[in-house]
Amino acid sequence: MKPDSDFPSDARIDVQTEEGRVTGRIVLAGGGHAHLQVVESFGRRPLAGWQIVLVSPDEKVIYSGMLSGLLAGHYRREEVEIDLPALCRANSVDFIQGRGDGIDRGRRRLLLDDGRELSFDLLSLDIGGAFVPDSITGARDHAIPVRSIDRLLAAVGNGSEDERFTVIGGGAGGVETALAVHHHAVLPGLPPANRVRLVTAGALLEEKPDGLRRQIRKLFETRGISLIEHAPVAEISATEIVLADGRRFRSDATLLAAGPTPHGWLAHTGLALEDGFIAIRQTLQSVSDPDIFAAGDCATLAGAWQPKSGVSAVRAGAILAENLHLRAANEQLRAWHPPARQLMLLASGDQRAVASWGMFWCAGRWVWRIKDRIDRRWVKRFTIFS
Ligand SMILES: Cc1cc2nc3c(=O)[nH]c(=O)nc-3n(C[C@H](O)[C@H](O)[C@H](O)COP(=O)(O)OP(=O)(O)OC[C@H]3O[C@@H](n4cnc5c(N)ncnc54)[C@H](O)[C@@H]3O)c2cc1C
């Protein structure tokens, strides 16, 4: 690591530090699960002479584990939100509101989409995935990604009594969203069945135990949520969806929960990618640049595909924090081992939940209580009470 590099004077954002002279700058792009822990770690163990900057398009981020509970009406917004500027202030990290849109690797700059540039010595990306697949015509104009929380709440809250909802995506996010939408928008008025439809390109909850899948199918049947599997969506308009096999369904609100796709701008960074995601080593360094790290949904361990999940992003956070400290000190980095099995806690909309671990699963109100406790603890950990 360069021991005493001043920031190049032509960087258009220059965050001032109180100490004056700094030996290096670590830029954290994205306030995802891993970076929350990294910010916290720099508060606990400040890195003398280094300036740490977090860049995020949003000041407040919603914890995805509680998103469906918010949608179903079980949580208030402030219970599921993390205030990034407050977290940064409490940990002596600078916060910049902005969206990364490119990396000039030669000049060591993160480029933001409004033209600003931010110089770095070490860069770490935890920017999640993009949620609007270009492969579906009309998705950009007519579908609502579940992460666009204001549009999502408006669509679910303002609908008429016979509004038809389609959720695209058969993973945990899609299942939770369909059950939450049913609970919030359909249940109170007891309207006809099939107002909520889940469409998935593959099978429902692929790679999960058969018993769990049967349980979710039964839940869908009881609640009148229709399920269409192995049916890629080709087109979305304001009023309907068209499947690749030509079937058409009315859809007044189409919600995208199909899992992350890579951010397009990564393809122009010159970093090695795998299926469009940043290819990383076990140290969480990009395989093409030892001073660029990545974790969470935006990264893929080179040659060892793993399902993308919040659990995995959380586990990577501690090692990422450690390795950024070690890289700054020019020391040997630690290896990250992605979890072989992951605990999935899936809310079923009615303050019950389903848990799965490897081939085991169980369900009930007590599972929701455990999930609720874990999720609240996570948000509380990063909430700064003034
Ligand atoms: C409804 C729902 C339920 C889910 N349930 C589960 C579950 O039960 N278990 C599980 O393991 N996973 C679950 N997931 C998946 C889980 O949420 C993701 O895998 C997880 O959020 C990924 O974390 P991350 O740290 O990679 O990024 P994210 O949490 O997606 O955060 C990325 C952050 O980066 C910011 N960002 C994006 N682009 C840029 C940019 N260009 N520059 C700067 N910042 C940027 C975003 O605004 C965001 O704040 C669920 C997802 C959804 C939607």
Model confidence pLDDT, tens digit, residues 230-243: 999 999 999 999 99
* Residues above pLDDT 70, as percent of the chain: 91
d(CA 98, CA 113): 8
| pLDDT band at residue 208 using 50, 70 and 90 as cut-offs | confident
Ligand 1 pocket: which of 71, 96, 127, 168 to mutate (most atoms within 8 A of CB): 127
Dig out the tokens for 271 from the structure. 């970093």
Q: Which residue has the higher pLDDT, 17 or 180?
A: 180
| pLDDT band at residue 11 using 50, 70 and 90 as cut-offs | very low
CA nearest ligand 1 atom 43, residue:
30
Q: What is the DSSP letter of 334?
A: P
State yes or no: pLDDT of 22 exceeds 70: no
CATH 3.50.50.60 residue ranges of the chain are: 4-57+98-130+261-328, 139-259
**Average pLDDT score over residue span 265-293:** 97
**Average pLDDT score over residue span 293-306:** 93
- Architecture, CATH, for domain 4-57+98-130+261-328: 3-Layer(bba) Sandwich (3.50)
CA nearest ligand 1 atom 18, residue:
310
CA nearest ligand 1 atom 31, residue:
32
**Average pLDDT score over residue span 213-223:** 91
Give alpha helix (H) positions in the chain: 33-44, 67-71, 77-80, 84-90, 139-142, 149-157, 172-181, 210-223, 310-328, 365-381
**Average pLDDT score over residue span 337-348:** 87
Among 24-28, 151-155, 174-178, 312-316, the least confident range: 151-155
State yes or no: pLDDT of 299 exceeds 80: yes
Q: Which residue has the higher pLDDT, 319 or 10?
A: 319
CA of 261 to the centre of ligand 1 (A): 11
Report the DSSP beta bridge partners of residue 97: 56
**Average pLDDT score over residue span 76-97:** 97
d(CA 189, CA 39): 45
CA of 31 to the centre of ligand 1 (A): 9
**Average pLDDT score over residue span 211-229:** 92
Give the pLDDT confidence score for residue 147 in this predicted structure.
87
User: Which ligand 1 atom is at minimum distance from the Cα of 346?
Assistant: 8
With a Cβ cut-off of 6 Å, ligand 1 is lined by 29-34, 55-58, 61, 64-65, 67-68, 99-100, 126-128, 146, 172-173, 176-177, 257, 296-298, 308-311, 313, 344-346
Instruction: Count other Cβ atoms within 10 Å, centred on residue 8.
Output: 12
CA of 167 to the centre of ligand 1 (A): 18
Give the pLDDT confidence score for residue 8 in this predicted structure.
35
Give the chain's radius of gyration (CA, Å): 22
Homologous superfamily (CATH) for 139-259: FAD/NAD(P)-binding domain (3.50.50.60)
State yes or no: pLDDT of 13 exceeds 50: no
Mean pLDDT of the residues in the chain: 89
Instruction: Count other Cβ atoms within 10 Å, centred on residue 363.
Output: 19
State yes or no: pLDDT of 183 exceeds 90: no
Give exposure, 203-239, as e/b (b: 16+ Cβ within 10 Å): ebbeebeeebbebbeebbeebebbbbeebbbbebeee
d(CA 321, CA 46): 11
**Average pLDDT score over residue span 268-273:** 97
Give alpha helix (H) positions in 276-309: none
**Average pLDDT score over residue span 295-315:** 91
State yes or no: pLDDT of 42 exceeds 60: yes
**Average pLDDT score over residue span 344-356:** 91
Q: CA dihedral in degrees (77, 54, 129, 112; nearest 10)?
A: 120
State yes or no: pLDDT of 16 exceeds 80: no
State yes or no: pLDDT of 1 exceeds 60: no
